[in-house]
A and B are shown apart, each in its own frame.
Chain A
Amino acid sequence: MKLKDQFYTSLCLLVAFIVLCSHDLYIKMETYFLQPNQQATLSLYNGTFEESENIITRDRMLDASVVAQGKRVAIQPAQWKDQDSTITALTFNTGEAGTYVAGVSTKARNIALTADKFNSYLKHDGVLDMLEQRTNDNLLNQDAVESYQKHVKAIYQVGDTKTDDWKTVLDYPIEFVPQVNPYETYSGEKLTVKLLLEGKPLPNQLVYADYIKSAHTHSDHTHEHTGKEHSHEHQHEDGSHSHDHDGKEHSHKHTHEDGTHHHHDDKPKAEAGHTHTSGQQLRTNDQGIVTVNLPEEGIYYLRTIHMVNVTDNKELTHQSKWATLTFEVTHKHEASTHTHDDHDHEDGMPTWIFIVGSLLVIGLLFLIFRKKS
Chain B
Amino acid sequence: MKHLHLKQALSLLLVFFPLLGFAHNVTSADQALLQTGSLWAYIQVGATHMLTGYDHLLFLAGVIFYLNSFKDILKFITVFTIGHCITLVGATYAGITANEHLVDALIALSVLYKGFENLGGFERLKVKSPNLLLMVGLFGLIHGFGLSTRLQSFDVGTEQFLSKILCFNLGVEVGQVLALIPIVFIITMARRHQQFPAFYKAVNWYLVLAGIGLFTYQLYGYFSE
Interface positions of A (Cβ within 8 A of B): 167, 179-181, 189-190, 192, 285, 287, 289, 291, 335-336, 343, 346-347, 349-351, 353-354, 357-358, 361-366, 368-370, 372-373
Surface stretch bound by A, among B12-20, B74-82, B94-102, B166-174: B12-20
State in angstroms the CA–CA spacing of A343 and B22 once bound together.
Answer: 11
**Complex partner residue of A372 from B3, B52, B54, B206, CB under 8 angstroms:** B3
B69 within 8 A of A: no
| Contact of B38 with A361 in the complex, beta carbons under 8 Å | no
Whether the Cβ atoms of B23 and A365 lie closer than 8 Å is no
Q: Are A358 and B206 in contact (CB under 8 A)?
A: yes
Compute how far the CA of A349 lies from the CA of B206 in the bound complex, rounded to whole angstroms: 21
Q: A180-B31, A362-B206 are in contact. Are A373 and B197 (CB under 8 A)?
A: yes
Inter-subunit contact B38/A287 (CB<8 Å): yes
A335 and B102 CA atoms in complex are apart in Å by 20
Please tell me if the beta carbons of B202 and A346 are within 8 angstroms of each other in the complex.
no
Chain A residues, Cβ within 8 Å of B222: none
Q: CA A365 – CA B25 in complex, angstroms?
A: 26
Q: Does B131 contact A (CB under 8 A)?
A: no
Given A289-B36, A366-B198, A366-B199, list of 19 further CB < 8 A pairs? A180-B35, A189-B28, A190-B32, A192-B32, A192-B36, A289-B35, A335-B224, A336-B224, A346-B22, A346-B25, A354-B23, A357-B19, A358-B206, A361-B12, A362-B203, A365-B4, A368-B4, A368-B8, A369-B4
21 CB < 8 A contacts A-B: A180-B155, A189-B28, A291-B32, A335-B224, A346-B22, A347-B28, A347-B29, A350-B25, A351-B52, A354-B54, A358-B16, A358-B19, A358-B206, A358-B210, A362-B203, A365-B202, A368-B202, A369-B4, A369-B197, A369-B199, A369-B201
Cα of A291 to Cα of B34 in the assembled complex, Å: 13
Q: Kindly report which residue of chain B lies nearest to residue A356, judged by CB atoms.
A: B19
Distance A372 CA – B198 CA, assembled complex (angstroms) = 9
Residue in B29, B35, B38 whose beta carbon sits within 8 Å of that of A179 in the complex: B35
Q: How far is the CA of A181 from the CA of B16 in the complex (A)?
A: 37
Q: Which residues of B contact A350 (CB under 8 A)?
A: 22-23, 25, 52
The answer to whether B160 has its CB under 8 Å from any CB of chain A is no
Residues in B lying within 8 Å of A, measured CB to CB? 3-4, 8, 12, 15-16, 19, 22-23, 25, 27-29, 31-32, 35-38, 52, 54, 155, 157, 195, 197-199, 201-203, 205-206, 209-210, 224
Contact with B22, one of A189, A354, A370 (Cβ below 8 angstroms): A354
Measured CA separation A167–B38 after assembly (Å): 18
- Could you say which residues of chain A place their CB within 8 Å of the CB of B12? 361, 364-365
Closest Cβ–Cβ distance, residue A35 to chain B (whole Å): 25
Q: In the bound complex, what is the Cα–Cα distance between A21 and B85 (angstroms)?
A: 58
Q: What's the least CB distance linking A83 to chain B, in Å?
A: 37
One of B155, B201, B206 near A361 (C-beta < 8 A)? B206
Chain A residues in 8 Å Cβ range of B32: 190, 192, 291
Bound state CA distance, A343 and B28, in angstroms?
7
Other-chain residue from A287, A347, A364, A368 in contact with B36 (beta carbon distance below 8 A): A287
